[in-house]
Amino acid sequence: MTMPLQDTVALVTGASSGIGAATARRLAAEGATVALVARRRDRLKELAKAIGQDSGQALVLAADVTSAEEASAAVEAAVAELGRLDTLVNSAGVMLLGPALDTPIAEWEQMVDVNVRGVLNVTHAALPHLVRAAEDSPRRVADLVTISSTAGRVARPASSVYNLTKFGVTAFSEALRQELLAKRVRVSVVEPGTVDTELTTHLREEIRAAAQRQTESIQPLRPEDIADAVAWIVTRDRRVAVNEILVRASEQTWLATVPPTPPVGRRRGKRYRDPSTSAIG
């Protein structure tokens, strides 16, 4: 039986864990050969092995997407080794939440570097190959999918720079969508709500504890739920362009990715919250 993505090549960033790993696995199951990009080579190798055991094909390309040189080298290596590039999924990202007054500038810089500069570096290198794939593939279409967030739709306290990066990639994607539609390179964003991944493990301890408190009463999404959305987008016929998908956990009432602020402080021994966050959860 022909699989929907047979004879195509997909490159997935952030493939060493979470949404990127699940998406790479899912695209391989749909028949794509997948190029796996992230910094942790050992994790990529494990995933490539698992994909191979499922009769799929994967290429490991360890790279730091914040480096234009490494991002470009990874894209070129994928095309050199696998012959083409039909699908790019930008999933690499970091979320370092916290009130602006307390946040080290290095955390802001890291979010801009990975979530924005990383997306730009990989996308810039991939675009000519995606245009070529849309011209010469039997499907006559190529796809560029970026994992944004509910935080790309609504800004919240203690999420300012994460919001900036996710609003940014959504705007970037919409402009590219309009530029590239005549070339049949479809451009999409997927906006997950709370997904059970390693994303919150990088938060400072007190922020992580607050995030955990506010999410512990809901059942989070699984990375595979987001992989489903990506697979839906990239397996449509060329006449269909699914440009945006928002996927939240069923019990999630707020829009931000995780509830953004820890209790603001203590007053006479009692914890209190900033009223601006009281609608969350």
Ligand X SMILES: NC(=O)c1ccc[n+]([C@@H]2O[C@H](COP(=O)([O-])OP(=O)(O)OC[C@H]3O[C@@H](n4cnc5c(N)ncnc54)[C@H](OP(=O)(O)O)[C@@H]3O)[C@@H](O)[C@H]2O)c1
Specify the 3-state DSSP secondary structure of 267: strand
Active-site pick, 37, 122, 162, 170: 162
- Residue 189: what residue type? V
- Smallest distance from the beta carbon of 71 to ligand X, in angstroms? 8
Alpha helices in the chain (DSSP H): 18-29, 41-53, 68-82, 105-111, 119-136, 160-180, 205-215, 223-234
Measured from the CB atom, is 32 or 203 closer to ligand X?
203
Hey, what are 173's tokens? 């994607």
Distance of CA 5 to the CA centre of its chain: 20
CA 245 – CA 236 distance, rounded (Å) = 14
Q: Which is nearer to ligand X, 131 or 247 (CB)?
A: 247
User: Which residues of the shown chain bind ligand X in the complex (CB under 6 A)?
Assistant: 13-14, 16-20, 38-40, 43, 64-66, 91-95, 114, 118, 147, 149, 192, 194-195, 197-199, 257
Whether 162 is catalytic is yes
User: Would you tell me how many other CB atoms lie within 10 Å of the CB of residue 179?
Assistant: 12
179 vs 198, which CB is nearer to ligand X? 198
**At its nearest, how many Å lie between ligand X and the CB of residue 159?**
11
Q: Least separation, in Å, of the C-beta of 32 and ligand X?
A: 18
Task: Output the smallest distance, CB 176 to ligand X, in A.
Answer: 17
Nearer CB in complex with ligand X: 88/141: 88
Closest CA to 145 of 256, 243, 280: 243
Give the residue numbers annotated as catalytic, written as ranges: 162
